[in-house]
Structure 1
Amino acid sequence: MDNEWTLVEHLSELRRRVVYSLILVVLFFILSLVFVHQIFSVLEAPLGHVKLAVLGPGDVIQIYFMIAGFGSLGMSLPFILYQLWKFIQPALSPKESRAAMTMLPFAFLMFLGGVAFSYFVVFPIVLHFLLQLSFENFIVVMTAHRYFSFLVNLTLPFGLIFEMPIALLFLTRIHVVTPRMLSKMRKYAYFAIIVFASLISPPELVSHLSVATPMMALYEISIMLCRLQARRMAKNINISNSSSVVSKNIQGI
C-alpha cells in the first residue's frame, strides 16, 4: 500500500511540475507571437538577399507558430530544468543534489552557447556552401518552412551537444564515470559522433566536418575538465583524511 501511495505521489509531483512548465511555455509562446516579426528578421539574416517563399496562406501561420514555439521553449528552458531538478531531487543524495543544483545555471549557459555557436558559425558555413552549389545549376526557391526546419535541425542539436561537458562533470562528481574511462572510450565516442553528425547535417563532407569537429573538440574538453574535477576531489579527500588523523592524534594526547 505504501509503495502504491509512493508511486501515486511521484506521478502527482510529475504532473505538477509538467503543468508549471507548460503554463510558462504558453506565456512565452504568446510573448513570442507578439514579437514574431522581430524574431523572424533575426533568423532570416543569414540568407542575405535570398527571399523566402510560402506555398499558401496557411504556411504563414505555421511558420509563425514554429518560430514562437521554439522561442518559448528556449526562454522556458531554465525554469524547465529547475522543475526537472525538483522532481528528481528526492531520489538524489544530498551530495548529488548539491552537485546538480550547482550545475543547472551552467547547463543553461552551455545550451545557449551551443545554439549561438551553431547559428553564428556552423549554420552560415553550411548554408552558404549549399546555396553556392545550388546557384550553379538551379534557380533557388527556398520555402520558409524548409529554411526554418533546416535551421532548427542544425542549431538545436548543438545546444544539446554543448551539454556534454556539464553532464560528464556531474557523472564524474558522483563517481559514475572517470577520466580514464572516458579516455578508453574515445574511439567509440568518435565513431558515435561521426554517425550522429551524419544524421543531423546535410549529406556532404563540409557539413559533416562542421558538425563533427566541434563535437570531438567538446569531448576532449570534457575529458580535461573531468581530470581537473577528479584531481580536486582527490585533493579534498586527502585533506579530509589528514584532518581526521590530526584530530585523532589530538584526542589521543
Structure 2
Amino acid sequence: MSAAEEGVDSKLLGGSMSKDKELTFQEHLAELASRLKIVLYTLVASTIIFMALPADLSFLHNPPVFKPLVSVLLAYVREDILPTSVRLIAGEITTPLELYILASFALGVAVTLPVLFYEVYRFVDPALYPEERRMVYPFVAAFISLFIAGAVFGYKILSPFMIWALLPFFEALQVEALVYVMDF
C-alpha cells in the first residue's frame, strides 16, 4: 500500500495519523489542535442549538410566544427540587438571561463530553499497545456508570437533602425563603 493510500485509509477510518508512523512534536500538537477544534465547534454548536431549540412548535401559530427548551427544563428542576414555600428572585435585570445562557452552556457541555472523550481516545489510540487498548473499554464503562450515578445522586438525593436541611433555618429566624436564582 502506498503512502497516499495509507493516508486516505487513515482519514476514512476517522483518524489523521497513521499507526505505523512516528510524528514530530509539532505534528502531535497540530493533531491535538485539530481534535480540540472539533470539540470546541461541537460545544459552540450544541450551546447555540439549546439556546434556540423550542420546547414546542406553538410559537409558529403565535409568534410572540417562544418558549425555549432550556426554560422548560429549568422550570422542571425548580418544581422537582424546591418546595412551594421557596421563592426564586432574579436580583438583577440581567440574571434571567445569564441563567438562560449558563443552562444552555451546561447542556452543551453535556452533549460535548462524549465527543471530547472520543477525540482524546483517537489521539491517544496510536500510542497504545493492544493489551492497553483492551483496558480502555472497561475503564470507559466504569467512568460512564460512575458519572451517571454521581449525577443522579446529586440531583435526586443530595440537592433535596440540602434544601430540606437548610429550610428550617428560615423558619427559625422567621424570614421568608427568598433565594437568588443564580444561587439556586
Query: TM-score, normalised on structure 2?
Result: 0.70
**1:47 corresponds to:** 82
SS of the residue corresponding to residue 13 of structure 1 reads helix
> Is contact 1:78–1:105 with CA below 8 Å preserved after alignment?
no
1:99-138 alignment runs, 5 A limit: 99-137=135-173, 138=175
Aligned 8 A contact 2:87 2:177 in 1: no
Which structure 1 segments of 5+ residues have no match? Answer: 148-253
User: Does 2:29 correspond to 1:11?
Assistant: yes
Q: Per-residue deviation at 1:110?
A: 2.5
- Give the match's secondary structure for 1:121: helix
Aligned to 2:130: 94
TM-score of the superposed pair, with normalisation by structure 1: 0.52
Q: CA deviation at 1:102?
A: 4.5
Give the CA deviation at 1:8. 0.7
Q: Relative contact order: is structure 1 or structure 2 higher (C-alpha 8 Å, sep ≥ 6)?
A: 2
Q: Which amino acid aligns with 1:139?
A: E
Does residue 139 of structure 1 match 2:176?
yes
1:131-154 Cα shifts (integer Å, max 9, x gaps): 22223213322011111xxxxxxx
Matching residue's letter, 2:36? V
Letter in 1 for 2:132: E
TM-superposed deviation, 1:88: 1.9
Q: Among 44, 52, 55, which residue is 1:26 paired with?
A: 44
Q: Which residue of structure 2 lines up, in the alignment, with residue 189 of structure 1?
A: none
Structure 1 CA distance, aligned partners of 2:111 and 2:145?
12
Q: Cα RMSD between the aligned structures?
A: 1.7
Following TM superposition, where does structure 1 have runs of at least 4 consecutive aligned residues deviating by more than 6 angstroms?
none
CA distance in 1, matches of 2:123, 2:171: 51
SS at match of 2:126: helix
Cα distance in 2 for partners of 1:121, 1:21 equals 32
Q: Distance in 2 between matches of 1:130 and 1:9?
A: 54
**Contact map agreement 2:47 2:105 (CA 8 A) in 1:** yes
Q: How does 1:51-66 map to 2 (within 5 A)?
A: 51-66=87-102
Shift of 1:107: 2.1
What SS does structure 2 have at the residue aligned with 1:145? coil
Kindly state the Cα deviation for residue 22 of structure 1 after the two structures are TM-superposed: 1.2
Letter in 2 for 1:47: L
Partner Cα distance (2:120, 2:163) in 1:
35
- Tell me, yes or no, if structure 1 residue 38 matches structure 2 residue 38: no
- Partner SS for 1:70: helix
| Percentage of pairs with the same residue | 22
Q: Contact between 2:89 and 2:179, CA under 8 Å: does it hold in 1? A: yes
Aligned partner letter, 1:109: S
What amino acid maps onto 2:77 in structure 1?
A: L
The 5 A counterparts of 1:208-247 are none
What CA distance in whole angstroms lies between the structure 2 residues aligned with 1:23 and 1:129? 41
Q: How far apart, in 1, do the equivalents of 2:126 and 2:46 lie?
A: 29
Structure-1 separation of matches of 2:76 and 2:120: 31
